[in-house]
Structures are given as C-alpha cells and as structure tokens.
Amino acid sequence: MESQMADIEAQFSSEHSSSPTSVFKKVDRAVILKFQEVVYTIDTKKQGCLKKNSNNIPTEKQILKGVTGMVLPGEMLAMLGPSGSGKTTLLTAIGGRLGGKLGGSITYNSKPFSSVMKRNTGFVTQDDVLYPHLTVTETLIFTALLRLPNSLTTQQKITHAEEIINQLGLTRCKNSIVGSPSLRGVSGGERKRVSIGQEMLINPSLLFLDEPTSGLDSTTAQRIVSTLWDLARGGRTIVMTIHQPSSRLFYMFHKVLLLSEGNPLFFGKGSEVMSYFDSVGFSPSVAMNPSDFLLDLANGIPSDDSSQDDQSAVKRKLVLAYKSNLSDSLKAETLEYEDKVNDVLDLKKSERWTTTWFQQFTILLRRDLKERRHESFDGLKIAQVVIISFLCGLLWWQSNAAHIQDQSGLLFFYTGFWGFFPLFQAIFTFPQERDMLAKERSSGMYRLSSYFFSRSIGDLPMELVLPTFFLVVTYWMAGLKPNLGSFLYALSALLLNVLVSQGLGLALGGLVMDLKKATILGSVIMLTFSLAGGYYVQNVPVFISWIKYISISLYTYKLLIGSQYEQDQTYRCGNQTCLVADFPAIKNIGLDGQLNSFVALAIMLIFYRVVAYVALMRIGVPKK
Ligand SMILES: Nc1ncnc2c1ncn2[C@@H]1O[C@H](COP(=O)(O)OP(=O)(O)OP(=O)(O)O)[C@@H](O)[C@H]1O
C-alpha cells in the first residue's frame, strides 16, 4: 500500500506545476482540524418526522453519536458510510455551517470557528450551485472579483481566475455556458471542477467537499480526486464525503472515517483499515474493493457469504470494537497534538469583507444582468404586454368622459393588470436564488444589503419600461384626458403601483421561499386587494371594510381617477348632466385625498422591501 501511494505521488506530481502563482502552491496558513466527541441531535417533532407524541416517544434523534478525529495540513480525509449515516451532517458541522444542538468540540488550530476561519475555508456542496447562463470564465471571474481582497487589482483578480481555469483543466470549455439539468452546458465533471475552482480562488487552508465524485465516471472521479490530492500537498487540510470510491481512489486518501448510523466504526489511515477489521474478526471472503467491504460492514453485512447474519448485532459489535480499540487512543492522540500546535499556527486577523459595499453592488449587478439578460428581454413577456396594450387600446378606442363607466373600468384594469404582472415576476426572484444566496453568504462573499439592492435594481429598467409602453399605447388610443400633466400623473401612479406590487412579490417569495405556496398566497392577497379596491363593491359591510386601507389597488385607482377627473367635472348621463364625483364607482373612492394615497403607497413601497430584506437575513446563516 505504501508503494501504491508512492506511485500515485509520482504520477501526479509530474502533472501539476507548483509555481508561485499555481493553484497548487503552498498554502499561506496551515490549519489543524480536530473534532472530538461530536454529537448532533435533531428535534424530530419540530422537523415533522413524527406525527404524534402521545406515547412518550422520544422527540429527539441523534444523528451523530460521538465522532472524533483529526486532520493535519497536507492530509485528505474521506468520510465513508451508507446513505443516511451522517456524513453530510458531520461535514457541515466541521465546516462551521451547522447550527442547532451540536455537542462536543470542533477546533481549528485549537480555536473555535470564526469569521477569519470562514474566509480561509472552501466548501463545495454536493449539488453544484452555479448560474447556468454564465460561461465558465465569467463564473470564475465574478467569483474572483467578489472574493479576492482589494490588495489585488481587478486585472490581477481576472488573471488569477484564468490561471485557475488552466490549472483545473477547464481551458477547453472556458467559453461554454455552465448549464443546468434543463440547459445543456459543460459536463458534470467540468461543472464540479468549476465549483472546486470557485473555492480554490481564495487559496483556502481548509477545503470541504460533499461527494465531489458522485454521478461521475471513474476516470473523471479519479481526475478530481487527484487534483484534490495535489491541493492537499500544498499544505491544505481536505475533508470530503464520498460514496463508493474505487480502490484506486481509496488509497489516495490519507485518512478514512467510516460511519454507521452516526457511530464511528473506524478512523485512521486508509492503509490500515483492512488489518484493523481483520483484527476484530471481520475480513472479506474474497478479494474486494476496500470501500465495498467497508460499506457492507457499516450496513451490518460482514462478508458476501454471511448475508443471513443479524445486521444489528454486527453493527453493535463493530461499535463496541471501535470503543474498546480505537476511541481512547484517538482521543489521546488528538489531545496530545493540541499541545504541540498551540499558538504555533495562528491565523492573522483579517477584515470581515474583502471588498467594499459599492464594489459588491456593482459586481453583483453586472453578474445579474449577464445571467438574466435572456429573462429581462424575454420576447414572450414583451409580446404579451404589446398584444394586451393594443387590444385594450382597440377595446376602449377613443372613449371619452361621457363613457365614464368604460373609462373607470379601464383605470381599474390598469391597477389589476399592473398589480398581478409585477407581483408574479417578483415572487420568483428569491426562491430561485435561495441556494446561490445561501452558498455565497455562508462563505462571506458579500453583504446582504449589496445583494438586495443589486437584485432589486437590476430588474428595474425592464419593470418600468413595459408599463410605460403599455400606458403610452392605451392612454392615447383609449382617448383618456389629452394633456401631458394628466398623462404623467397617471404614469407615476401606475409605476408606483408596479413597484409596490413588486415589493409585495419580493416579500412573499422571501418569506415563504416556496414558489407554489408563494404564488397561491400572492393571488389570494392581490385578489383581496382588487376586490377591496372600491370598483366592484361599493357597499362593503363595516366589519370588513378596513381591508381597503391596505389595498394597493384602492390607492392606485384613486390616483388614476384623480389624474382624469376634477371635483366639479360633469358628464352626460342620459338626457341630463351628472357630476363625475357622483358616479358610483368614483363616489365611494372620492376625488380628494390624492396626497394621502401617494403617501400610503410610498409607505408600502418601503415596508414590503424591508420585510423581504428581513426574510433574507436568515439565508446562509447556520440555524441556532
Ligand atoms: N434537519 C434534519 N431533519 C431531519 N432529519 C435529518 C436532518 N438532518 C439530517 N437528518 C437525518 O440524519 C441522517 C443523516 O443524514 P446525512 O445527510 O448526514 O446522511 P449522509 O450519510 O450524508 O447520506 P447521503 O449519503 O444519502 O447523503 C439521515 O437519516 C437524515 O434523514
């Protein structure tokens, strides 16, 4: 086995350079990771795992049951175990991203996790969270601009991203879009390397990867693990979960941790694992891949010909064997090491953010415009608005004040259409972005406020151009008050309506974070606002009439009729002349109090956005 390691070393040391600019260069700060007796418990009642608790069934479930280990700089630890054994939970815990009931101790150079450590940590999640419409180069350059400190110039950051592309073997596909399951882009292995590249940009001392090889063929998996192996040689501490590595891969790991139902069954050198299990009475009946053998053991199946054995008894025996043979010596070794490293490898203090607020804002805005250019200039969306504009213009063709019923109907239609349309566009924003926001925020890439402003402003031009176009067409075709002042008044009311409805959509999406639920909730709220808007029902019972005070439609409708009619204006009703202010759909709303309506909409404009912002604050922060 030693010779196998030497072969691998020889093979890969020739493949990668170690020049000063290389991604494989020595890391600035080495980190010793230690975790002792890590226990993690979840409240199954809170998580909805148990329906009832009438029979005193325990409502807590232990996911991790006292896991200990230590990974030194330059080492690569593989965590193995069957599905559900707790690998991802442990990785998330030692990666500093797990809140809740976490017991035991996890230290980094003898210190707890801190924002400085966060800055030195790379975390590659199992699912690659990447923007599908950006190219590989764009993805890495934007990450470099956001994550690298201002001590580097923009050009140096770009050069660094380009170096990563070359060194991770992504040159061939650097101009291809990343893609997603529904959009053909680069291959799965290339996508994984882009995710690794994003973390490598900051030259992390610690690198965590959740199943970096899942879904990849064995050659691609081999390439990725050898890249990681080279990264470890630069003094990085690397921890990954892995499902079923081939024996070639297995021997590349310096250390192996085997988990079964949250219990550790083995922690130590990969080369010693077979002899350990042999010493406690378990050895494969035929020569087999060590990871297959280990997974069988963790499932309670000791060898191919003994599938009839009691699996729980086997697992219990293995847990006891670990406790009596490995646990104490491992704990002692971990403690002993502490004395040697204390204060030797200290992390320097560093700023919380590597870039300024304004830099983050502009980079995020540019990235957003690039990623979503196809959405903003979506032909279908534009066609929809154009068709409805002309249809409305034709239906209400040259109506005049005498057709007050028609005109008030058109004005109310404005509030409805431009309430629902922006609301449903905005509802999608945050649920779609949640994973990206969680990933980037948990690696401390930018402030929430710079993200929030860039995201709200990025869409604005198109959000405002479409209703403006709609109003220009319908206003003049329908023969509304032909005076620039009235038109501009109506336009500002309509745009305010759009912005407030958009804010409501952002808030609902941010609060619920589930598209289906948010859409249903959004339609119920908007319909309620519409019904309470004073057009359909005039004699609302007192006990429910308060709804109108929170109705976006009511205030907008009030402003729109204010833009068209004067207090003393009359119209022909049959053979006589009637006051516009007495027309039922207007009388109830009244033509006065215009300023109050503006103020009410302005308050809602701010309020809904504040709610959306507060709702986003919980994303990317470990739950307490
Ligand atoms: N927040 C949670 N709520 C409910 N159950 C949870 C939660 N977190 C973890 N678990 C449970 O803990 C166990 C371990 O989960 P974990 O994802 O760590 O397993 P894993 O070994 O990584 O599995 P896989 O290989 O399938 O990804 C599973 O049974 C899972 O259902």
DSSP string, 148-163: S-TTS-HHHHHHHHHH
Q: How many CB atoms lie within 10 A of CB 117?
A: 19
Pocket perturbation via mutation, ligand 1, pick of 60, 85, 261 by most ligand atoms within 8 A of CB: 85
Parse the chain into domains and list their residue ranges. Answer: 2-9+25-120+208-220+238-341, 357-548+604-616
Q: How far does CA 498 lie from the centroid of its chain? A: 26
* 450 CB-contact burial (10 Å; exposed 0-12 / middle 13-18 / buried 19+): buried
pLDDT band with cut points at 50, 70 and 90 for residue 45: low
Contact 63, 42 (CB under 8 A): yes
Q: Would you say residue 57 has pLDDT above 80?
A: no
Find the 39 Cα to ligand 1 centroid distance in Å: 14
Separation of 80 CA from ligand 1 center, angstroms? 14
Check residue 48 and give its pLDDT.
Answer: 52
Residue 20 has pLDDT above 70, yes or no: no
Helix or strand (DSSP H, E) at 107: strand 101-108
How far does the centroid of ligand 1 lie from the alpha carbon of residue 38, in Å?
15
Q: Which atom of ligand 1 is nearest to the CA of 81?
A: 21
Residue nearest to atom 4 of ligand 1 (CA): 47
- In the prediction, which pLDDT does 587 show? 81
Task: Answer whether residue 144 shows pLDDT above 80.
Answer: yes
CA 313 to centroid of ligand 1, rounded, Å = 23
pLDDT value, residue 15: 43
**Secondary structure (DSSP) of 567-597:** TT-EEEETTEEEEGGGSHHHHTT-S--HHHH
**pLDDT, position 56:** 60
pTM (predicted TM-score): 0.80
Per DSSP, the three-state class of 268 is: strand
Instruction: Give residue 93 CA to ligand 1 midpoint distance, Å.
Output: 12
Phi first, then psi: give them for residue 104, nearest 5 degrees. Answer: 90, -170
> What does CATH list as the number for 2-9+25-120+208-220+238-341?
3.40.50.300
Q: Which residues line ligand 1 (CB under 6 A)?
A: 42, 47, 49, 63, 81, 83-89, 241
pLDDT value at position 389? 94
- Predicted confidence (pLDDT) per residue in 345-359, tens digit: 444 455 678 889 999
Distance between CA 354 and CA 352 in Å, rounded? 7
Our CA angle for 421, 425, 429, nearest 5°, is: 160
**Residue 243 CA, closest ligand 1 atom number:** 25
Q: Lay out the sheet containing 33-43: strands in order across.
A: 60-71, 33-43, 101-108
Ligand 1 atom at minimum distance from 89 CA:
18
- Is the model's pLDDT at 65 over the cut of 50? yes
Question: Which tops the pLDDT comparison, 195 or 593?
Answer: 195
Q: What is the DSSP string of 471-487?
A: HHHHHHHTT----HHHH
Check residues 338 and 213 and name the one with the higher pLDDT. Answer: 213
d(CA 565, CA 580): 7
Section 353-375 average pLDDT? 89
Cα angle at 506 between 502 and 511, to 5 degrees? 150
**Residue-level pLDDT at 55:** 58
Atom of ligand 1 nearest to the CA of 100: 1
Q: Of 114-118, 239-243, 282-286, which one has max mean pLDDT?
A: 239-243
Expressed in angstroms and rounded, the spacing between residue 86 Cα and the centre of ligand 1 is 6
Task: Write the residue with the smallest CA distance to atom 24 of ligand 1.
Answer: 83
Mean pLDDT for the chain?
A: 84
pLDDT of residue 306: 54
Q: Whose CA is nearest to atom 3 of ligand 1?
A: 47
Mean pLDDT, rounded, for 291-309: 75
Distance of CA 89 to the CA centre of its chain: 18
CB-based burial label for 281 (10 Å; 0-12, 13-18, 19+): exposed
- Are 72 and 229 in contact by the 8 Å Cβ rule? The answer is no
DSSP 135: B
Q: Which of 44, 67, 88 best tests ligand 1's pocket when mutated (most atoms within 8 Å of CB)? A: 88
Ligand 1: which atom is nearest the Cα of residue 262? 14
Cα(262) to ligand 1 centroid in Å equals 10
d(CA 266, CA 275): 11
CA 194 – ligand 1 centroid, Å: 26
The Cα–Cα gap between 609 and 170 comes to 40
Separation CA 582–CA 586 (nearest Å): 7
pLDDT of residue 450: 95
Residue nearest ligand 1's atom 26 by CA: 83
Say if residue 376's pLDDT is above 80.
Answer: no
pLDDT-derived band at 142, boundaries 50, 70, 90: very high
Summarised one tens digit per residue, pLDDT across range 438-490 is 989 888 889 999 999 998 888 788 789 999 999 999 999 998 888 999 999 99
Query: What's the confidence (pLDDT) of residue 16?
Result: 46
Mean pLDDT value of segment 201-206? 86
**pLDDT of amino acid 116:** 78
Share of the chain above pLDDT 90, in %: 40
User: For the chain, how big is the Rg over CA atoms in Å?
Assistant: 31
Residue in 87, 90, 91, 243 to alter for ligand 1 test, most ligand atoms within 8 A of Cβ: 87
